[in-house]
A and B are shown apart, each in its own frame.
Chain A
Amino acid sequence: MSLEKPSSPTEIGVTEDGLDYDALAELLGGHVIDRESHVNAEGFVVRPDEVQAVLSTLKTEAGFDHLANLTAQEYDDRYESIYHLRKYDDPTQELSIVVPSPKDDPHNQSAARIYDTADWHEREAYDLVGIDYDDHPDLRRILLPETWQGHPLSQDYDQNQPQIVTLRENANPLQDDQRSEDDPDTMFVNIGPHHPATHGVLHVKTVLDGEQVADIDPDIGYLHRCEEQMCQQGTYRHQIMPYPDRWDYVSAGMLNEWAYARAAEDLADIEVPEYAQVIRTMSAELSRIAAHMLALGTFALDVFGDFTAIFQYAFRDREVVMNILEDISGQRLMFNYFRLGGVAWDLPEPRDEFFEKIRDFLDDLPYKLEEYHDLITGNEIFQMRCVDTGVLTPEKAKSYGATGPVARGSGVDYDLRRDDPYGYYDELDWNVVTETGCDNFSRVLVRMREVEESARIIEQCVDLLEQWPEDDREIQANVPRTLRPEPDEEIYRAVEGAKGELGIYIRSDGTDKPARFKIRSPCFSNLQTLPEMSQGEYIPDMIASLGSLDIVLGEVDR
Chain B
Amino acid sequence: MQSAPLPESLADLAGLDPNSTPVMILMSLIGAALIGSLMMTNTALAGPWAKRKITAAFTDRIAVDRIGPFGLLIIVADSVRLLSKELIVPEGVDRPAWDLAPLLIASSALLGFAVIPMGNGLHLADPEVGLAYVFATASMASIGLVMAGYASNNKYSFLGGLRAVAQNLAYEIPLILTGASVVIFAGSLQISEIVAAQSATLIGPIPSWYAFVNPFAFVLFMIANLAEVGRNPFDIPEAPTEIVAGYQTEYSSVYFVLIYLGEFIHIFLGGAIIATIFLGGPAGPVLPGIVWFLIKIWGVFLFTQWARSAVPRVRIDQLIEIGWKGMLVLSLANLLLTAVIVGVVA
Contact = CB atoms under 8 A, between A and B. Distances in A.
Interface of A: 187, 189, 195-197, 208, 211, 300-309, 311-313, 316, 375-376, 379, 381-382, 384-385, 538-541, 543
A303 B313 contact: yes
Nearest to B318: A384
B235 to A, nearest CB: 6
B140 interface: no
A286 B311 CA distance: 29
Contacts of A208: 159
Which one of A208, A303, A306 has the highest number of Cβ atoms from chain B below 10 Å of its Cβ? A306
Contact of A382 (B159, B244, B312): B312
A385 B60 CA distance: 26
Contacts of A316: 60
Contacts of A385: 312-315, 318
Nearest to A379: B312
Interface in B219-254: 232-233, 235-236, 239-244
Contacts, number: 88
Nearest to A210: B162
Contact of A539 (B243, B309, B314): B243
Given A306-B235, A375-B310, A540-B315, A301 B60 contact: no
Interface of B: 55, 58-61, 155-156, 159, 232-233, 235-236, 239-244, 308-318
Given A539-B242, A539-B243, A312 B315 contact: no
**B55, B61, B240 — most chain A CB neighbours (10 Å):** B240
A541 B232 contact: no
B237 to A, nearest CB: 11
Contacts of B58: 309
A313 B59 contact: yes
A492 to B, nearest CB: 37
A187 B243 CA distance: 14
Contacts of B312: 300, 303-305, 376, 379, 381-382, 385
Contact of B316 (A211, A303, A305, A382): A211
A309 B309 CA distance: 5
Contacts of B244: 195-196
A543 B159 CA distance: 15
A498 B243 CA distance: 29
Contact of B241 (A187, A196, A375): A196
Contact of A305 (B61, B155, B235): B235
A313 B60 contact: yes
Contacts of A196: 240-241, 244
Contact of B156 (A189, A303, A313, A384): A189
Contacts of A376: 312
A544 to B, nearest CB: 9
B242 A543 contact: yes
B310 A381 contact: no
A309 B314 contact: no
Nearest to A375: B310
Given A189-B155, A381-B314, A305 B60 contact: no
Contacts of A540: 236, 239, 242, 313, 315-316
Given A196-B244, A384-B318, 6 more contacts: A197-B241, A304-B311, A381-B311, A385-B314, A538-B315, A540-B236
A379 B242 CA distance: 20
A311 B309 CA distance: 10
Contacts of B55: 307
A29 B162 CA distance: 62
Contacts of B313: 303-306, 381, 385, 540
B308 A306 contact: yes
Given A312-B59, A381-B233, A301 B241 contact: yes
B308 A543 contact: no
B316 A538 contact: yes
A505 B73 CA distance: 57
Please indicate which of the listed interface residues B60, B310, B315 has the most CB atoms of chain A within 10 Å of its own CB: B315
A312 B309 CA distance: 10
Contacts of B314: 381, 384-385
A186 to B, nearest CB: 12
Contacts of A543: 241-242
Nearest to A541: B315
Contacts of B309: 306, 308-309
A302 B59 CA distance: 17
Contacts of B235: 305-306
B311 A302 contact: no
A307 B241 contact: no
A52 B156 CA distance: 43
Contacts of B155: 187, 189
Nearest to B321: A384
Contacts of A307: 55, 59
B241 A309 contact: no
B53 to A, nearest CB: 14
